[in-house]
Amino acid sequence: MSNVMFEKIQILAIKFGGICTAAFIVAIYFSTSLATIISVSLVLLWLLSGQLKLIPFTLKKNPIAAWSLLLLLCFIVGLCYGDATNSDALSMLSKYRELLFIPIVTVFLNAERSRYWAWNAFILSSVLILGISYLMHFGVLDLNHQGDPAFKSRITHSIFISFFGFYCAHRAYDGIAYKKLYWLLFIACAYNLFFIVEGRTGQLIAVALVLLFAVQRFTKRGILLAVFVVGLLMLLFLNYSDKATRFNEGVVNMQSDLKPGPEQSQTSMGQRYMFWRYSLKLIAEKPLFGHGTGSFAKEYERIALNETMKTKNPHNEFLMVGVQLGVVGLLVYLGFLASQYYLSKKLPYQEKYVAQGLLLTLIITSLFNTPIMDHTEGHWFLMMIALCFSSLSTDFKTEINHA
């Protein structure tokens, strides 16, 4: 095959990859099966683009991609030790496969047009799940039999909507086209989070993102005013709204669960405290390299033998990584997070703000869930990270010629 023909195949693969990336973002919101099919297509298009030979250059240019692959490598090395069965170890490794997508998708997002369509796919999907939630709430649609007016789970929906509200606030504040529409979407997101779906993780993220927005956009006086207003609104919400039941329950449970007792594990927060306590004990047993990939469920059952409640998930990404990969793996995950903050400073202001909001969303979610391990959240976070930082990449045509 001539060099000219090979270069044409590369360019076509990149173009189709950009289209598939936008489609992949939509699929993450609505169809796990379709997302899996498109993810395979993205890998194949990446191989056809000839980027395998350029992977060292990609990782040097994008430290976030390097940290992402390093974390995946830690899980691969973790297969070599520990008492987990082969099926458990490989199953756990497959749950972190989306760590591959940052170096892969970054290539497809080098072109401004591809980023444009990807951002529009994010906006469209967010608006759709927000609209579906309202239609479910008013009884127009019946798509969830668990009682939550959300297309996805309450936790997943609240994470998506809290970040989308933050994104809309920045777009509206910049005074771009459709400013009023973005403010309306921001209000719709806030109302949905606190009065319809009521996901505590999303509510906490929303409050944190509002305060981050104030730090990013306002002067010191404006920040103090924002803190006062948010505090006042939360005080009114918690004391006078009948929709604050779950949030108040979480606060009460937190206070009671901090006091050891036989009833401690009866609440959701109590269960989390129990999971976290035993997870810390497991990390203390093998602090350096952990118990190996896929070992958490078996090791937890061993150490919590007398507990009636068993789990395969500590509902904390830091602990999940720490138990399996030890301090080494935990430092790599922290490096992955820190690299995002460091590189966000190199982005244009609007993109910097959004990237920092995404990072804060990931950190808070990691404290109460396992967003990288979970399928939908994991693919969403990794894709959004790639999208937020893709503008740092150089034009892809230069890389093809260089190859």
State what percent of residues in the chain have pLDDT above 90.
59
Pick the more confident residue, 308 or 80: 80
Residue 336 · residue 71 · CB < 8 Å: yes
Res 268: pLDDT = 63
pLDDT above 90 for 270: no
Rounded mean pLDDT, 201-220: 94
Q: Which residues contact 142 (CB under 8 A, 6 or more apart)?
A: 136
- Structure token pair of residue 402: 């260089």
Alpha carbons 125 and 216: distance in angstroms, whole number: 26
Rounded mean pLDDT, 365-394: 90
Res 39: pLDDT = 92
Pick the more confident residue, 307 or 323: 323
pLDDT above 60 for 398: no
pLDDT above 60 for 371: yes
Q: How confident is the model at residue 244 (pLDDT cuts 50, 70, 90)?
A: low
pLDDT above 60 for 81: yes
Q: How confident is the model at residue 382 (pLDDT cuts 50, 70, 90)?
A: very high
Q: How confident is the model at residue 165 (pLDDT cuts 50, 70, 90)?
A: very high
pLDDT above 50 for 400: no
Alpha carbons 85 and 291: distance in angstroms, whole number: 12
pLDDT above 90 for 122: yes
Rounded mean pLDDT, 84-103: 92
Residue 294 · residue 93 · CB < 8 Å: yes
Q: Which residues contact 58 (CB under 8 A, 6 or more apart)?
A: 51, 65, 103, 106, 107
Secondary-structure breakdown of the chain: helix, strand, coil percentages, each rounded to the nearest 5 = 80, 0, 20
Residue matched to tokens 């937890």: 300
Res 251: pLDDT = 56
Res 395: pLDDT = 47
Q: Which residues contact 383 (CB under 8 A, 6 or more apart)?
A: 21, 24, 25, 28, 101, 105
Alpha carbons 398 and 52: distance in angstroms, whole number: 16
Q: How confident is the model at residue 258 (pLDDT cuts 50, 70, 90)?
A: low
Res 2: pLDDT = 65
Pick the more confident residue, 82 or 128: 128
Q: Where exactly are the structural domains of the chain?
A: 54-100+268-403, 118-259
DSSP 327-385: HHHHHHHHHHHHHHHHHHTTS-HHHHHHHHHHHHHHHHHHHHS-TTTSHHHHHHHHHHH
Burial of 183 (0-12, 13-18, 19+ CB in 10 A): middle
Type of residue numbered 154: R
Q: Which helix (H) or strand (E) holds 261?
A: none
Pick the more confident residue, 354 or 262: 354
Res 401: pLDDT = 41
Report CA 20 to chain centroid distance, whole Å: 20
DSSP 59-86: HHH-HHHHHHHHHHHHHHHGGGSSS--H
pLDDT above 80 for 74: yes
Q: How confident is the model at residue 56 (pLDDT cuts 50, 70, 90)?
A: confident
Inter-CA distances, 224 with 108, 209, 210, 214, 233, Å: 42, 15, 12, 9, 14
> Residue 72: how many CB atoms within 10 A of its CB?
17
Res 403: pLDDT = 40
Res 238: pLDDT = 81
Res 245: pLDDT = 63
pLDDT above 50 for 27: yes
pLDDT above 70 for 250: no
Alpha carbons 291 and 314: distance in angstroms, whole number: 15
Rounded mean pLDDT, 309-330: 92
Tell me if the pTM is above 0.85: yes
Q: How confident is the model at residue 253 (pLDDT cuts 50, 70, 90)?
A: low
pLDDT above 50 for 133: yes
pLDDT above 80 for 186: yes
Q: How confident is the model at residue 9 (pLDDT cuts 50, 70, 90)?
A: confident
Res 70: pLDDT = 96
> Residue 328: how many CB atoms within 10 A of its CB?
16
